Structure 1
Amino acid sequence: MEDRWEGVPPGSWQASIMSVTRRQVLRYGAVGAAGAAATVLGGAALASAFSSRSDLAVVNHHEALAASVSQVAPELIPRRYARTLPTVPRLVPFATGVDGEGPFEKFQVRAQTFNTRILGGGLLTPQIGYNGLAPGPTIEIERGTRVELTVRNHLPATHPTFGHPMDIATHLHGSASLPQFDGYAADLTVPGFMKTYHYPDHQTARTIWYHDHAQHVTAENVYSGLNAHYHIHDEEERALLPQGEFDVALTVDDAQFAADGRLMFDHREDSGVWGDVILMNGAPWPVMRVEPRIYRFRLLNTCVSRSFRFRLSNGMPVTFVATDGGLMPRSRQALSWRHSPAERYEFLIDFRGFAGRRIELLNSSNDNNRDFDFTDKVMAFDVLPVPPTTTRPDGSPDPTWNTIPGDLSTGNAVMALDPADAVRERRFRVKRDDATNVWELGELSWFDIVDSGYQRVMADPGLGDTEIWEFEGGDGWFHPIHIHLVDFKVLTRNGVPVFDYEQGPKDTVYVGENETVRLLMNFGPHRGRYMVHCHNLSHEDHAMMTQYSVGLQPGDPDPNDPINAARPVPDADPSLA
């Protein structure tokens, strides 16, 4: 066999892998050993020059439950690695400036229907998305730049495939927004109306995302394409990590298709949706051509229910540099990792020494998934036999091309939180009510919140309080729990330290079957009501979502009422993009 270590530059990953202990290997094994409309067909000629093989044998304990779930003819399912990874466009502001509060940028998107060509045979797949893209256009801003995002609902009265009313609510997931701009599930914008959201963007650099959050139909709407990246940059992050074309946004999703090419939505009695076609940036099993240098990837999982256990086909670890809430205190390496819906991980892959080779991003799956013939493959990287780019666009040296940093954000405020400062501990069990078949978080479901006139809460921390929240998972399911407004530190998982790649600020935590996680967080900077829910969107919609309040007591006036403080208005010009 060819020596897979040959040609790897000194000081890169092969040196660090030698330090991986047997305990770490066992631990990682225990984890569970732009849209398609813009997709470019082709690349086969170039791909034939690359070897495609896996050098790492991983035992997959998850048997494929079926060859496929889609009803489309098998020959119309796309071939693996036949398309090029689409680059999702950046959204351009229509206004910029500086006022008494500092710099600002104004953006607008319209939610609209469109068709994509994902399958073969000329079949079209109707979707909905921001500006006719799935995923939608990426917003990139500098920390401290306030953003106004106007979302225009240009959708028909009912969903073109699933038939439900096309009311929407836009949530900037990971943003410390005021409640009335947080995309509260009952703050609905109906077709023909628009809402302008205000985002302070005072948080440190991070990968967040905007997506639909309409109550009871979030799963269908996000699955249909209403999701997009949003990046906050700052000086610390720019100095440490690759930028521009070497800073790559990735959105992974799965889908299932009816015989006519439309999306199917088999949610298996509200338990989840698992597709048999894996999409990256809207394209099925694409290939990305890369230079032999270090790249940064921002990977977002927008699946309704599927979690992944990612690994590289050549056995190389990736270097984690950021979690949901931004830079980790120090970089961490892992051979594989669990990645649930809504989580974002930023990591570096070192392609030096692999010119002319193909490296695949593979999926070894986790418990509580449904796996099919080709859900073990995700995408491929073809490392071009070219000299790497070692300078920035202005011609200055770019040290990130061959540098993997150790220390990152060592003073991160969330990771510096001390459990001794917690003023209260709360415990919540996530479960399904056997009598009603309704998913519950603690003792509440979203039906309870609606019945209370959106007033009942699961917790009422004071503004500035630090608390520990414990979530206990049940049998038969895993639950990615998302807490709006705050970032948190994951203290323990089943009483032991968390995985290395989780050692950064988070807003969504993987709660596996029979796992108990403890989270530490400080509540602020705003008063008001915020949602907590499972990000298996089938669970959220039926109805594993509740809310908590910050700095409010029963009967207090609430100037930031999440439904009424900033109502949508009729679209001033429905023809505008």
Structure 2
Amino acid sequence: MNKKRDAFSEKLLVQEDEMFLSKSSTPQQLREAVKAKNNRQEIITAFSQGTVSRRDLIKWGLFTGAGALAWKNGLNPLVGNANAAIPTGIPSSPLFGAVKFSQPMPRFDVMQRKAVSALTPAPTVQANITQKAVPAILGGGTGPVEGRPPGAIWAHQKYDQFAPKVAVETVTKGVGTNNSYNPQVSSSLNSGIDPAAPIAPRFHPRMPIQNANSMWTYGGTAPPKLLLGRYGEPILFRQHNGLSADVRQNGGFGRHTLSTHEHNGHHGAENDGFAGAFFFPGQFYDYHWPIVHAGLNSINTTATDPRAGAPDGNGGITRLPGDWRETMSTHWFHDHAFSFTSQNSYKGIAGALNLYSSLDRGNEAINDGVNLRLPSGKAKDWGNLDYDVNLVISDKAFDQSGQLTFDIFDFNGFLGDVMTVNLASHPYFEVERRKYRFRLLNGSVSRFLKLALSDASPMIQIANDGNLLPRPVVLTELDQQGTAERYDIVIDFSRYSAGTRVHLVNLAEHNDGRRVAKDLSIAEAVSGLSSDPCVGRLLEFRIARDAAYPDLSLVPAVLIPNPDLSAIPISRTRDFEFGSGANQPSTSVTADVGKWGIKTDGGALLAADYGRVTAAPRAGTREVWNLRNNNGGADHPIHIHFEEGQILSRDGSAANVPPWERGRKDVYRLRPGGSMQITIQFRDWGGMFMQHCHNSVHEDHAMLMRWETNALGSTDLVPLPTPVPTPQGVKFQAATRLT
């Protein structure tokens, strides 16, 4: 290396490494790369803060229609660089000396339940439009205290019939220290973590504390939050937007407007977290979650079947209307703001919701002929967490100062290079020699998982998404798990002796965020030879001791059978294709442009516009939807809000539907070039809902559509007006119909 190059390189080696440039790069190449990196960062900052839009960038030639930063000299040194690594387009994350499996995995932080009367102001059926001052940076003037769209059409449906019995109140804000951690299990069941000790927002003790503009969470603390609910006990979930009114205070990504989707709650659209019903800093939004069985107006209406029921608090059952075969168990909730779902959920705005019922009551000791007695515990009538463990697995990336970072210009899908479990990097978890239930959530924005135990021993899958399967399935490797899918599994640690260690391993190798490149064997995954840093061991189970008391739990041969839909006629069949190269005919503020889109019934491939109604199924009917992936280079996990469906066939054959997909679903993973036929009912509630890809980068750019159903079941649905939120109040505009 000559002296001229050496002097310049000494100053730029860090940037050189960050951009994956060759060590043989000339000084001129390095200067151009640094300039391009700075130019790129300016565009990222302007885009993240809303001072420019995707339309602006395309118009100026800085953004390609395919959804990428244009390849231009002085703009983008990273596109197509052969030396780039996962995550795509940004530097490898510094680890600051963090050693794998050197920190305990924290259990989720259980949210406080309180009386509805404790809320101030009191909740109202229609949105609370009491005025308050709006900060000048948001336009000044006054605006409503509640960000829910006003008026009767966005009033809580059936609010008096299902009046909230429990309130949960949270402020979404930048992270700080957690001084009130509540795992609801003893320290011995939480790997020795002292719940009274402050918990700093960091991914490993050796890694830096996250700044308040880098990481946003419910409650403003870590670990992730867990809400416990039971059937027949409606919840009023009040979310305050405590983020900065200054949109620039976002650490380079994320938007301060919020909308929380309870995935996949059976309730009215006003409480669904509709992407266009977002609200601003200083406002709150009251979500009414009735927690009812689907079919409550048509099946078991007199509430005589104890299988459609809930724990009564005293070992008995409160019987409820509805179809017991529609009982759900493992939900989650996350931000769903239009065009920013991926960024906001990645920043930490995601939590878990466990639903308890007479079938799945969270007490393994009660033997009443209804309770399935799945691993949980026995101290409380319901909701024991001792041996029922929520795990959210997600990949993250960090900038050179150790703060969360995200490439907002990679529209194929964002991949991190550090795997986390419950927002901890490569932790360990101490277990007893007995059966445990793990509720596995793929909380990544784009990454698929495929999980196994390092010794190839069996796991029992009991649920897929929020629903217990008809029958348990014994597997040594789980199927590929798409983003937002939940797999509940049971692992029996009694087969191991105390002191043994076994690992949860990811076998799915990615080259980019579009799809899994290949599935590795367990031996290949643990070898450390994969180019994907999130392949391999991600969680260490330490078998610590014998069980504290005899294991009373069961895994019954029959769990929850599917509803029999054979007597319900099919009112319509619809076709939806998902692909790239979408067109956007709308110029409305409710529309977006991007690489991805949806084609309906053979029409044009369209980018998202939440003001456009694409399908209008009538309430009380059953339809068949054909979902097709017309892009062989990408996988799309498709999420349909509100109703659970059943898969009729995969790639044209019922025989291609594996046992673990034969229950009810809310996320349908198409596979590259694949197809799926599903059937779905529409009941009990109405309003505007969504269908979208849950690779949320695809969703944000812009693979999302609005569908709508009328709770009254009228023959010709008249679309509801579309909300257009502003800090000064929600405006409405007429919806359009896809012809």
TM-score w.r.t. the length of structure 2 is 0.62
Pair 1:382–1:508, CA change in 2 (3 A):
same
Deviation at 1:179, TM superposition (A): 0.9
Shift of 1:137: 1.6
Q: Do the aligned partners of 1:144 and 1:202 also contact (CA within 8 Å) in 2?
A: yes
Per the alignment, residue 114 of structure 2 pairs with: 94
Answering whether residue 642 of structure 2 is matched by residue 485 of structure 1, we say yes
- By relative contact order (CA 8 Å, sep 6+), the higher-ranking structure is 1
Question: How much has 1:172 moved relative to structure 2?
Answer: 0.5
- Which of 278, 282, 290 is residue 192 of structure 1 equivalent to? 282
Query: What is the alpha-carbon distance in structure 2 between the residues aligned to residue 117 and residue 325 of structure 1?
Result: 29
Match of 2:425 in 1: 284
Summarize the Cα distance change of 1:319–1:184 in structure 2 as closer, same or farther, 3 Å threshold: same
Q: 8 Å contact 1:421–1:466 — kept in the other structure?
A: yes
1:469 equivalent among 621, 625, 629: 625
CA distance in 2, matches of 1:389, 1:193: 47
Return the match for 2:487 from 325, 333, 345. 345
Secondary structure of the residue that 1:251 maps to in structure 2?
strand
Alignment of 1:515-554 (within 5 A): 515-551=674-710
What CA deviation, in whole Å up to 9, does each residue of 1:34-58 have, x standing for no partner?
Answer: xxxxxxxxxxxxxxxxxxxxxxxxx
Cα separation, 2, equivalents of 1:431 and 1:419: 34
Q: Give 1:132's aligned residue.
A: 220
Q: In 2, Cα distance between the equivalents of 1:91 and 1:75? A: 31
Please say if residues 360 and 380 of structure 1, whose CA atoms lie closer than 8 Å, have aligned partners that are also in contact: yes
CA contact (8 A) 1:482 1:535 kept: yes
Matches of 2:466 and 2:292, distance apart in 1 = 12
Q: Which residue of 1 aligns with 2:556?
A: 405
Distance across 2 between alignment mates of 1:213 and 1:150? 16
Distance 1:419 1:514 in 2: 32
2:660 aligned counterpart, secondary structure: helix
Q: Does 1:242 find its partner at 2:375?
A: yes
Structure 1 residues 322, 448: CA separation in 2 closer, same or farther (over 3 Å shift)? closer
Asked if the contact 2:95/2:207 (under 8 Å) is kept, the reply is no
Equivalent of residue 549 in structure 2, options 390, 396, 406: 390
Q: 2:572 aligns with which of 400, 404, 424?
A: 424
Contact 2:616–2:717 (8 Å) recurs in 1: no
- Equivalent residue for 1:309, pick from 450, 453, 456: 450
Question: Aligned to 1:221, what secondary structure does the other structure show?
Answer: helix
1:16 corresponds in structure 2 to none
CA contact (8 A) 1:76 1:119 kept: no
Q: 1:542 to 1:487 in 2, by over 3 A?
A: same
Q: Note closer, same or farther for the CA distance 1:67–1:90 as it changes in structure 2 (3 Å cut).
A: closer
Work out the CA distance in 2 between the residues paired with 1:82 and 1:164.
31
Change (3 A) 1:283 1:442: same
2:504 counterpart letter in structure 1: L
- SS where residue 391 of structure 2 aligns? strand
Contact 2:274 2:688 in 1 (8 A): no
Label 1:227 to 1:512 Cα distance change in 2 as closer, same or farther (>3 A). Answer: same
Distance in 2 of aligned mates of 1:217 and 1:276: 21
* Post-superposition CA distance 1:398-446 (Å, at most 9, x none): 520xx33211113x42xx3339832222111110017775211225778
Partner residue of 1:330? 471
User: Which of 262, 265, 271 is residue 181 of structure 1 equivalent to?
Assistant: 271
Match in the other structure for 1:364: 507
> 1:387: how far off?
2.3
Residues 226/568 of structure 1: CA separation in 2 closer, same or farther (3 Å cut):
farther
Paired with 2:400 and 2:161, the residues of 1 have a C-alpha distance of 57
Task: Give the 3 Å change call, closer, same or farther, for CA 304–407 of structure 1 in structure 2.
Answer: same
**Where do 5+ consecutive residues of structure 1 fail to align?**
1-63, 392-397, 571-577
CA distance in 1, matches of 2:717, 2:335: 29
Question: Given residue 404 of structure 2, which amino acid in structure 1 is its aligned partner?
Answer: L
> Hey, what's the Cα distance between the residues in 2 that align with 1:521 and 1:556?
18
How many residues of Structure 1 are paired with residues of Structure 2 in the alignment? 489
Match of 2:169 in 1: 108
Contact in 2 for aligned 1:153/1:190 (Cα 8 Å): yes
Which residue in the other structure is 1:449 paired with?
A: 609
Q: Which residue of 2 aligns with 1:79?
A: 99
| 1:237 alignment partner, SS class | coil
* Contact in 2 for aligned 1:195/1:568 (Cα 8 Å): no
- SS state at 1:76 partner: coil
2:406 to 265, 273, 277: 265
**Cα distance between partner residues in 1 of 2:640 and 2:358:** 27
AA at the equivalent of 2:623 = E
| Partner residue, 1:118 | 203
Q: Residue 212 of structure 1: which of 335, 341, 344 is its match?
A: 335
Task: Give the letter aligned to residue 262 of structure 2.
Answer: L
For residues 507 and 671 of structure 2, the distance between their equivalents in structure 1, rounded to whole angstroms, comes to 16
CA shift at 1:163, angstroms? Answer: 5.1
Change (3 A) 1:66 1:468: same
1:148 paired to 2:236? yes
Residue in structure 1 matching 2:394, options 250, 253, 256? 253
Q: CA deviation at 1:75?
A: 5.1
Instruction: Identify the residue that residue 348 of structure 2 maps to in structure 1.
Output: 225
Alpha-carbon shift at residue 96 of structure 1 (Å): 5.7
Looking at structure 1, the residues matched to 253 and 451 of structure 2 have their Cα atoms a distance apart, in angstroms, of 35
How far 1:527 sits from its partner (Å)?
2.1
CA distance in 2, matches of 1:188, 1:67: 32
User: How far did 1:353 drift?
Assistant: 1.9
Counterpart-to-counterpart distance in 2, 1:364 and 1:442: 33
**Which is worse superposed, 358-367 or 340-349?**
358-367
- C-alpha root-mean-square deviation of aligned residues, in Å? 2.9
2:536 maps to which of 368, 372, 376: 376
Change (3 A) 1:269 1:276: closer
Q: Distance in 1 between matches of 2:220 and 2:475?
A: 36
Cα 1:548–1:568 change in 2 (3 A) is farther
AA matched with 1:492: S
From the superposition, tell whether residues 528 and 351 of structure 1 become closer, same or farther in structure 2 (CA, over 3 Å). same
How far does the alpha carbon of each residue in 1:543-562 deviate from its partner, in whole angstroms, 9 at most, with x for none? Answer: 1000111137798566x767
**Secondary structure of the residue that 1:245 maps to in structure 2?**
coil
CA 1:446–1:248: 2 relative to 1, 3 Å: farther
Change (3 A) 1:235 1:130: same
In 2: Cα distance, 1:162 partner to 1:202 partner: 40
